[in-house]
Amino acid sequence: MKFYQLCLLLLLCTCGRAQTSLSLSDAIQEGLANNYQIRLAKADLNVAENNIDDALTGKRPTISLGLNPGISYRNNANPASIVAKSSTFAFGIGPSASLNWTLFNGGRIAMNRERFETLATLSKEQLQVQVENTVADIVDAYYNAVVSQAQIAVLQRVLNLSRDRIRYQEVRAEFGQGGRFNALQAQDAYLSDSTQFVGQQLQYKLATRTLLQLMGEDDLDQQLNLTTDIDEVTEDYDRAALESQLLASNSQLSALRVNKVLADINTRAIAAERKPTVSFNAGAGFDYNLATGNQTFVFGDGMPDERALPGIGATTLTANLGLGVNYLIYDGGARNVRVQTAKLEEITANLNVDAVAQQLRAALASSLDRYENQRQIIGITRRLISNAEQNIDIAEERLKGGTINSFDYRAIQLSYINAEFQLLNALLGLKNTETEVLRLVGGIVD
């Protein structure tokens, strides 16, 4: 078996598994349904929405039932009393019921509901942020895998050229025109290209695994057939319009604005503690007590008379109804400190919105600068590839004619590989930049 045939056999010796066709749209849809981070964010939203209930705001009354069974023993000796001695057991049971209903507490009941509703809104915004980040990650991972696959194809073409060169040297050797040195140079080039080819296969496998993980797939070793090709983005962006869209639609900013609302609610709730609390109270209780034992009676100078208690039962029924008014006059200044802290937290929330807005505007401007730069690089690289392809053809003819040596030919071959890789990386960078711009302005899931 010839040298290049053995190498080719080793390169192609991979496990044959059925491939799953996957478009970018399908990958995004599966990710939206199965990505674990999105599912966790949805679970948080369900919790927040479940908490929007008057049962948690203090609006509804509370009713409690109680039962107090008990046993007591009493041993009493009092010579000055008619009952000189007594030894009794008392068995009692006392069911009770109470109702407490807050009628007014400075509006904090309504604020509590507003807080729960705002927390649910915040969870929605955080879910939207997670969805947008996941979609952007899936798009980037998908095209990264596409580029990895395309780079394998480039290396395969180079391998074919190296294999043809080995064949050429073998033919020359058969006719006594080639030497051992040229054959070794051809084999070295083929081995070097084969090493790069195998390494690129690993990069592609890692890229597809990252994509599958973002999609929430359990089988991370699936063989994928990626059906969406990477295309060159040609859109001209309006910077001013995109910045306005960012300030209006960016999900991260929307979530921070919700935090501002929460800070305002917290300040108002603490300030409402200065108002009195009015509550309605009602209760009822029933007590039954059964006493047994012995008592010793002494009447005048007579003999002590010991008698057994016949199990006397006593009942008591109580009920109460009223209003309670509580007003905190002084708490050492703690309430004033909490109000001041809440106002400072409001200022912090406002500053946070402004700071992040500035960061996002800078990120958008940088992304647009990269976008324009990468478009220029792509145009230059396409011309570079065209030249490299022509150089390969010319160099191959000159190598056969003996006007250039194997080192010159290899240098031209490497220039072709670098140009192809540079173009693919530029296309990937341009696509990633487009994705980042869409994420920043809130248009990634439109």
59-113 pLDDT tens trace: 999 999 998 888 888 887 777 677 667 787 888 888 999 999 999 999 999 999 9
- Give residue 6's pLDDT: 46
Q: Which of 7-11, 37-41, 263-267, 269-273 is the least confident region?
A: 7-11
Helices (H) and strands (E) in the chain, counts: 9, 8
More confident residue, 16 or 97: 97
237 has pLDDT over 70: yes
Q: DSSP letter string over 133-171?
A: HHHHHHHHHHHHHHHHHHHHHHHHHHHHHHHHHHHHHHH
More confident residue, 144 or 235: 144
- Give residue 46's pLDDT: 97
3 has pLDDT over 60: no
Q: Are 158 and 416 in contact (CB under 8 A)?
A: yes
Interval 308-329 mean pLDDT? 87
58 has pLDDT over 60: yes
- Give residue 177's pLDDT: 59
Fill in the DSSP letter of residue 333: T
Q: Which of 15-24, 151-160, 205-214, 362-371 is the least confident region?
A: 15-24
Cα(374)–Cα(364) distance, integer angstroms: 15
In angstroms, what CA-CA distances link 367 with 4, 231, 252, 281, 285? 46, 18, 17, 64, 73
Cα(68)–Cα(369) distance, integer angstroms: 77
Cα(437)–Cα(432) distance, integer angstroms: 9
Cα(253)–Cα(443) distance, integer angstroms: 14
- Give residue 163's pLDDT: 78
Whole-number percent of the chain with pLDDT over 70: 90
Residue 58 — φ and ψ, nearest 5°?
Answer: 90, 10
287 has pLDDT over 80: yes
Interval 340-349 mean pLDDT? 95
Residue 119 — φ and ψ, nearest 5°?
Answer: -65, -35
In angstroms, what CA-CA distances link 337 with 153, 262, 326, 340, 342? 68, 19, 21, 5, 9
Helices 334-401 and 239-249 pack at an angle, to 10 degrees, of 140
Cα(239)–Cα(300) distance, integer angstroms: 112
In angstroms, what CA-CA distances link 193 with 6, 10, 163, 425? 15, 13, 10, 19
- Give residue 362's pLDDT: 97
Q: DSSP letter string over 16-55?
A: --PEEEE-HHHHHHHHHHH-HHHHHHHHHHHHHHHT-SGG
- Give residue 178's pLDDT: 59
pLDDT tier at 10, thresholds 50, 70, 90: very low
Q: Is residue 442 within a helix (H) or strand (E), and if so which, with residue range?
A: none
**Distance between alpha carbon 54 and the CA centroid of its chain, in Å?**
29
- Give residue 84's pLDDT: 67
Interval 287-310 mean pLDDT? 76
Burial letters 244-263, b for 16+ CB under 10 A, else e: ebbeeebbbbbbbbbbbbbb
- Give residue 171's pLDDT: 61
Cα(356)–Cα(370) distance, integer angstroms: 21
26 has pLDDT over 80: yes
Q: Are 416 and 386 in contact (CB under 8 A)?
A: no
Residue 403 — φ and ψ, nearest 5°?
Answer: -85, -15
- Give residue 13's pLDDT: 47
Q: Is residue 72 within a helix (H) or strand (E), and if so which, with residue range?
A: strand 70-77
Interval 339-368 mean pLDDT? 96
Q: DSSP letter string over 273-332?
A: GGS-EEEEEEEEEEEEEEEEEEEEE--TTS--EEEEEEEEEEEEEEEEEEEEEE----ST
Which residue reads 């603490």 in tokens? 270
Q: Give 358: exposed, middle or buried? Use CB within 10 Å, 0-12, 13-18, 19+.
A: exposed
Burial letters 201-238, b for 16+ CB under 10 A, else e: bebbeebbbbbbebbbbeeeebebebeeebeebeeebe
- Beta-bridged to residue 73, according to DSSP, are 89
Q: Which of 127-141, 225-239, 272-286 is the least confident region?
A: 225-239
15 has pLDDT over 60: no
300 has pLDDT over 70: no
- Give residue 297's pLDDT: 72
Tokens of 190: 């083929």
Going along the chain from its start, the domains and CATH numbers come out as 3-8+20-63+104-275+331-440 (1.20.1600.10)
- Give residue 255's pLDDT: 96
Range ranked top by mean pLDDT from 72-86, 119-133, 149-163: 119-133
Interval 353-365 mean pLDDT? 96
